[in-house]
Amino acid sequence: MSKISRRRFLTTGLGAVAGISGVAVAAKLAAKYGLVPPDHGGLYGPGETLTYAAQRLLTRHSLAREFDRSQISAKPLANELAPLPDEFKRHEQAGFADWRLKVEGMAAVPTSFSVAELKSFPSRSHITEIACEEGWSYVAEWKGVPLSYILDRVGALPQTRYVVYKSIQTDWWDSLDMADAMHPQTLIATHMNGAHLPVGFGGPLRMRVPRQLGYKSVKFITTLIL
């Protein structure tokens, strides 16, 4: 072996070892911060854990861009919806007086909230962009109760790792890890552009997650599962 190829051999070998132990360290860090993705044991195991944990550690406090009031879109685009169930129409006719947001799972006090109660809780608003993976977007002002407030109020247990949320449209549901669930911009939206949230945009209650693509902002939510 010539000197040069031996040196290359040595550095390549060291690099590989450093890479592997780096992944082990990252996996430990990820476990410590509760950032092990659910499929970490799979084919892409340690690499996925490293990528996910690094991304979450770096970005869990970053804010989605907020816009100026003058940048609110004049014609926000409501995405096409499958027909809403009869149950929804009954709620709509009753002014959503009996609509409840149920909270189940790892809560010290599993409970449910009416729309009026949610509207009476401390709220936050932001002017943010909602972007569909299909390519269009709009900017609107959203107001609602921070999801973190609800999680505190129901006493989410410390071992809670994810929040699943379900729509009255039963094939629409999604989930957030705790970095997004506790994020100050993540709202259970009750208002849009200064009015009660219109049905086309998910009224009476919609999850609004400005750091994520539009599909995570599920409309007509009825249930949170911790």
Residues 6+ apart with CB under 8 A from 103: 110, 111, 112, 113, 150, 154, 223, 224, 226
Residue 11 belongs to what H/E stretch?
Answer: helix 3-32
User: Pick from 222, 48, 192, 44: which is nearest to 127 by CA?
Assistant: 192
Cβ atoms of 221 and 164 closer than 8 Å: no
Contacts with ligand MTE in 16-55 (CB under 6 A)?
A: none
Q: Which is nearer to ligand MTE, 181 or 221 (by Cβ)?
A: 221
Cα–Cα distance measured from residue 53 to residue 214, given in angstroms and rounded to the nearest whole number? 23
Residues touching ligand MTE, count (CB under 6 A)? 16
User: Using the rule CB under 5 A, which residue among 160, 196, 215, 223 binds Mo ion?
Assistant: 215
Q: What angle do CA 11, 12, 17 make, to 5 degrees?
A: 95
Q: Which is nearer to Mo ion, 40 or 216 (by Cβ)?
A: 216
Note whether 215 binds ligand MTE by CB under 6 A: yes
Contact characters 18-37, Mo ion, x per CB under 5 A: --------------------
Read off the tokens for 81. 């919806």
Q: Which residue is nearest to Mo ion (CB)?
A: 132
Contact characters 123-152, Mo ion, x per CB under 5 A: ---------x--------------------
Binding site residues, ligand MTE, CB under 6 A = 77-79, 81, 130, 132, 167, 169, 172, 201, 214-215, 217-220
